[in-house]
Every structure is written in structure tokens, then in C-alpha cells.
Amino acid sequence: MGETGRIKSPTYAVVEPYELPTANVWHFDFYRFADPREWEDAGFRDIFASPGLKLAEWPEKAEPVLPVADLDIALVAESETQRQATLTARTPTGAALLQAVLGNQGTGESP
């Protein structure tokens, strides 16, 4: 997407924002979330309501307050250097994104 700098893990900061030429991107890591009220306290509702791409690791930790994901991306380590990604559309927007990625190859889930 045009980011040329270092991509940091947001594990301790919870969120890392990126202003890219084509869109704003927020990378969340909810691993340390213990209480969904943290969502409100941190102002994440406003971020998720704004335009841009939101990527969330450990979404199940904030599940009661997160909006439905447009697209789920599940990564499985097959070895130290190889990962398998499964993309699953959850909304019409997600289906359109998946269609754009796959062309006419798929309609909802892709190994």
C-alpha cells in the first residue's frame, strides 16, 4: 500500500497508525485487552467509524464491541518461512474485496 518505513507490532501500544498515500491504516493488537470497556476508554469506536483500513490481531479479545469484520484473514504457520492465509468475506464489502483479490476464482473463502 505504499508504506516504506518499518512496520511495528502494536502489542504494547495496542494501535499503530499509518498515513499512506492511498488511505489511512490502523493496525490493532488486542492481545492485552482484558475488558471490553478499554475499547471505549481508548476511543477506538471513533477510529473504527472513520474511513480507512483497520487491521486487528486477536479480535476475539474485543469481540463484544468490535464491528463485524468485512474480511477475516487467518494465518497458519506451515514452517518457519511459509504461511497459509485463508480469507473469508463477512460482509458485502468483504465479498467485493475478496473478489478484487481473487478475480473470478472465488466467492467467499480462499485457501
State residue 65's pLDDT score: 87
Task: State which residues of the chain have pLDDT below 50.
Answer: 106-111
State residue 72's pLDDT score: 92
State residue 64's pLDDT score: 82
Write down the CATH number for the domain with range 1-67. Answer: 3.40.50.300
Domain ranges of the chain: 1-67, 68-111
Expressed in angstroms, the distance from the first to the final Cα of the chain is 22
Q: Do the Cβ atoms of 73 and 83 come closer than 8 Å?
A: no
State residue 21's pLDDT score: 83
Amino acid at position 22, single letter? T
State residue 54's pLDDT score: 92
- The string of DSSP letters for 80-94 reads SS-EEEEEEE-SHHH
Q: What is the largest CA-CA distance in the chain?
A: 42
State residue 22's pLDDT score: 84
The model scores a pTM over 0.85: no
Euclidean distance between CA atoms 105 and 6, whole angstroms: 33
State residue 11's pLDDT score: 62
